[in-house]
């Protein structure tokens, strides 16, 4: 029995060691991105304070919407650097205006992009499709060279993809083209804060992110958007 116990104990120790090595390898893969080499360090161009504030804004806006509408509306809020994007369904134009005013009153909110739709709640089947589209867009952006996905937010409503983030003109162009190429997307709406390459070089914002130079999808962004999907920039 003693020998058997010792054997089992040794087996357990070896097993845990193997698991630990496996997890370490996975962690390295996540940090490295989709390929073995990474061109630049992936970061969020918001300050730590902005990130915390945006999370608080989203929670506070969601709370305000529940108080206002209970189950009569479906309002989603996505915040980036104090800008709030409202999407979903409300029963009337008055409710749409109420939602905007309530979101604007939340502390640290500097601007509200009101993209709420007036009408019945979107069916669950459509919302499930939207979730799938968002997942595909994120995946495609991650696998595209020179698109700073860690400083971008993505959501989808009825096939309309909304993009938020702090990007350069070229990055905005690339991300729009990639997003519009996804099956099921019928429009791309951009709520980007456009910055310059000089801003990045000056250190005002965190360093940009790109995928590996060897990424096979690095040419996904062409010079022109010929997908036929409409792209609408929102005023910042």
Residues 115 and 189 sit within 8 Å (Cβ to Cβ): yes
CATH class of 48-118: alpha beta
Rounded to an integer, what distance in angstroms lies between the CA atom of residue 143 and that of residue 210?
Answer: 9
Annotated domain spans of the chain: 48-118, 124-233
**Looking at residue 60, what is its pLDDT?**
98
Q: Choose among 53, 43, 105, 62: nearest CA to 82.
A: 53
**Looking at residue 200, what is its pLDDT?**
84
pLDDT band at 44 (very low <50, low <70, confident <90, very high): very high
Q: Please check the confidence at residue 87 and state whether its pLDDT lies above 70.
A: yes
pLDDT tens track for 180-222? 999 999 999 999 999 999 988 887 775 434 333 333 443 444 3
* 30-34: long-range contacts, CB 8 A cutoff, minimum separation 24: 33/142, 33/211, 33/212, 34/142, 34/143, 34/211, 34/212, 34/215
Rounded to an integer, what distance in angstroms lies between the CA atom of residue 37 and that of residue 201?
Answer: 22
- When the pLDDT of each residue in the chain is averaged and rounded to a whole number, the result is 80
Q: Choose among 70, 162, 61, 67: nearest CA to 121.
A: 70
Query: Reduced to 3 states, what is the DSSP secondary structure of residue 120?
Result: coil
Residues 114 and 174 sit within 8 Å (Cβ to Cβ): no
pLDDT tens track for 106-154? 999 999 999 999 999 999 999 999 999 999 999 999 999 999 999 999 9
CA–chain centroid gap for 143, Å, is 14
Q: Please check the confidence at residue 54 and state whether its pLDDT lies above 90.
A: yes
Q: Say which residues have a Cβ less than 8 Å from residue 43's Cβ, sequence separation at least 6.
A: 150, 151, 206, 207, 208, 209
Least confident of 29-43, 87-101, 141-155: 29-43
Residues 166 and 45 sit within 8 Å (Cβ to Cβ): yes
pLDDT tens track for 5-25? 455 455 554 444 444 434 334
Q: Please check the confidence at residue 38 and state whether its pLDDT lies above 80.
A: no
Q: Please check the confidence at residue 156 and state whether its pLDDT lies above 50.
A: yes
* The two three-digit tokens of residue 135, written as one number: 């997942």
**Looking at residue 20, what is its pLDDT?**
43
**Looking at residue 7, what is its pLDDT?**
52
């Amino acid at each position: 029995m003693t020998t058997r116990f010792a054997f089992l104990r040794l087996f357990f120790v070896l097993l845990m060691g193997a698991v630990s090595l496996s997890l370490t390898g996975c962690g390295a893969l996540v940090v490295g991105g989709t390929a073995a080499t990474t061109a630049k360090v992936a970061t969020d161009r918001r300050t730590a304070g902005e990130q915390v504030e945006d999370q608080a804004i989203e929670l506070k806006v969601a709370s305000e919407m529940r108080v206002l509408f209970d189950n009569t509306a479906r309002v989603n809020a996505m915040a980036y650097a104090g800008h709030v994007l409202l999407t979903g369904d409300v029963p009337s134009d008055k409710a749409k205006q109420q939602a905007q005013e309530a979101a604007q009153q939340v502390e640290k909110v500097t601007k509200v992009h009101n993209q709420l739709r007036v009408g019945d709640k979107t069916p669950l089947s459509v919302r499930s499709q939207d979730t799938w589209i968002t997942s595909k867009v994120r995946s495609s952006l991650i696998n595209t060279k020179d698109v700073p996905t860690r400083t971008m937010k993505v959501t989808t409503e009825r096939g309309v993809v909304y993009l938020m983030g702090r990007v350069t003109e070229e990055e905005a162009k690339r991300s729009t083209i990639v997003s519009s190429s996804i099956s099921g997307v019928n429009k791309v709406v951009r709520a980007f804060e456009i910055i310059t390459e000089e801003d990045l070089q000056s250190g005002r914002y965190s360093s940009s992110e790109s995928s590996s130079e060897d990424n096979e999808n690095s040419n996904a962004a062409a010079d022109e958007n010929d997908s036929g999907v409409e792209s609408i920039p929102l005023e910042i």
